[in-house]
A and B are shown apart, each in its own frame.
Chain A
Amino acid sequence: MSTQTELPPVRRSGMVQTLGLAAALVVWWLVYRQLIPISEWLVALLPVDRQSHAGEALAFFFYDVPKVMMLLTLIVFAMGLVRSFFSPERTRALLSGRVEGAGNVMAAGLGVVTPFCSCSAVPLFIGFVSAGVPLGVTFSFLIAAPMVNEVALGLLFGLLGWKVALTYLGFGLALAIVAGWVIGRFRLEGWLQDWVRDIQSGTVTELPEQSLTWPDRYEMATEAVRDIVAKVWIWVMLGIGIGALIHGYVPADLMARIMGTDAWWSVPAAVVLGIPMYTNAAGVIPIVEALLGKGAALGTTLAFMMSVIALSLPEMIILRKVLTFRLIAVFIGVVGSGILCVGFLFNLLF
């Protein structure tokens, strides 16, 4: 990114890059449409019977891996462009001094579009609270940011269709808004670690605004793709590998018995199981798809997925530095109940 250096006018306006991007999109679309024939052709090359368990599993794998990676690339790129318009600093400025309610809604929405890395969770938390963002509003942000992200939405869209992806988006946002609001109602500011309360709000520093050109934004989005794809590809492969095995070998109604709509206890069980597990959306969604294919109920599987992503032990251990144990317990209780509701509701709806 050479923002400051002199660029020829054509490059600065981004004409060349925009045209290149359009061409790349066309190529993307053409390849994407050919994925089924390509995967069938690949399976036919191997010495396995297409109708066998192994053939089924391989076809699933060869189709899903490129499909998911291509969708992920596209969605992460688009999201990278959107995110280039936001920054945690700007989000904090937008949220500071907001009243609860409207503030929770805004925080959850901003949680989706603000660039966020889990290693910044603690400085971000302190930064928000010390700048006068109410505690409940901060929680809305912290719940939405990891849970409703482009990787989760992209994979759900690619593997399960837009209806599930949109419903997940809706329920994820609702959960972040309501859970944050409830935590705010409890007035738990006193349950922060002492030193966090002592940090004065006078420390808000404004960074000079950066003016970004479109080529800069393209570059940031490309960087996001490189970064995220490098991080998640192994999880996607593993997840789809396990998914392929389930797809090929697990009997069709097994999951219906354990994780079906009739087994009401499976929703709380899924939430509890999800807490100690720690992976990202990329690893868990392909498994979710395969489970669904074998008759597991959508609500149960989504509750499992949300619990894995939003309530993870490593994150609790990090947050322990700023929150007292009681406050973490409230956090787990509120978010966990929210996920339970989402699970039961989904099972009712679908």
Chain B
Amino acid sequence: MTIDVKVYGPGCKRCDTTAQMVADAAAKLGAEVSVEKVTDYAAIAMAGVVSTPGISINGKLVHAGGLPDDAALEGWLSDAR
């Protein structure tokens, strides 16, 4: 099953880095993911993200504010499989 990942952020450098980190972690685990970057302010706020970048996995918010931790990211992805 494809894991649905959303990265919330208005398009700052950290947000791009975060999206890349998700893709890298998924590649490492061999997991199939679709990464969507959400840049619309209303959509970011609707998701309950106060500090960017935020990450949701299969619709559940798992992280907000700053770059995620590599190990934690892999943990979330493997939980979602």
Q: Which residues of A does B touch, CB under 8 Å? A: 1-5, 87-89, 92, 115-117, 119-120, 122-124, 126-128, 130, 195-196, 199, 203-205, 207, 321-322
> Please, which residue of chain A has its CB at the minimum distance from the CB of B61?
A205
Which residue of B14, B45, B71, B75 is within 8 Å of A123 (Cβ)? B45
Expressed in whole angstroms, the Cα–Cα distance for A163 and B44 within the complex equals 42
Q: Which of B12, B65, B75 contacts A88 (CB 8 A)?
A: B65
Q: Which residues of B contact A (CB under 8 A)?
A: 8-10, 12, 14, 41-42, 44-52, 61-66, 69, 71-72, 75
Complex Cα distance, B52 from A306, in Å, reads: 26
When distances are taken between beta carbons in the complex, the residues of chain B under 8 Å from A2 are 69, 71
Instruction: Report how far A1 CA is from B34 CA in the complex, Å.
Output: 26
Q: Which of B14, B41, B66, B72 contacts A321 (CB 8 A)?
A: B41
In the bound complex, residues from chain A placing their C-beta under 8 Å from that of B71 are 1-5
Decide if B41 touches A207 in the complex (CB within 8 Å): no
Contact A203 B51 (CB under 8 A): no
A to B contact number (C-beta, < 8 Å): 83
A-B contact pairs, 18 of them (CB 8 A): A2-B71, A3-B69, A4-B71, A89-B51, A115-B66, A119-B12, A119-B52, A120-B51, A123-B8, A123-B41, A123-B44, A123-B51, A124-B50, A126-B41, A127-B50, A195-B42, A205-B61, A207-B64
Q: In the bound complex, do residue A92 and residue B50 qualify as a contact, i.e. CB atoms below 8 Å apart?
A: yes
Given contacts A115-B65, A120-B50, A127-B49, contact A4 B75 (CB under 8 A): yes
Instruction: Judge whether A123 and B12 touch: CB under 8 Å.
Output: no
Q: Are the C-beta atoms of A203 and B72 separated by less than 8 Å? A: no
A279 to B51, CA, bound (A): 22
Expressed in whole angstroms, the Cα–Cα distance for A3 and B70 within the complex equals: 11
A4–B72 CA distance with the chains assembled, in angstroms: 7
Contacts of A199 in B (CB 8 A): 42, 45-46
A2 to B69, CA, bound (A): 8
Closest residue of chain A to B62, judged by CB?
A207
Using Cβ atoms and an 8 Å threshold, which residues of chain A touch B62? Answer: 207
Tell me, in angstroms, the Cα distance from A120 to B72 when the chains sit together.
22
Known: A119-B52, A120-B50, A127-B45. 12 other contacts (CB 8 A): A5-B71, A88-B50, A88-B65, A115-B66, A117-B14, A120-B51, A122-B41, A123-B41, A123-B50, A203-B47, A205-B61, A207-B63
Select from chain A the residue with minimum beta-carbon distance to B67.
A223
Closest A residue to B10 by CB, please name it. Answer: A119
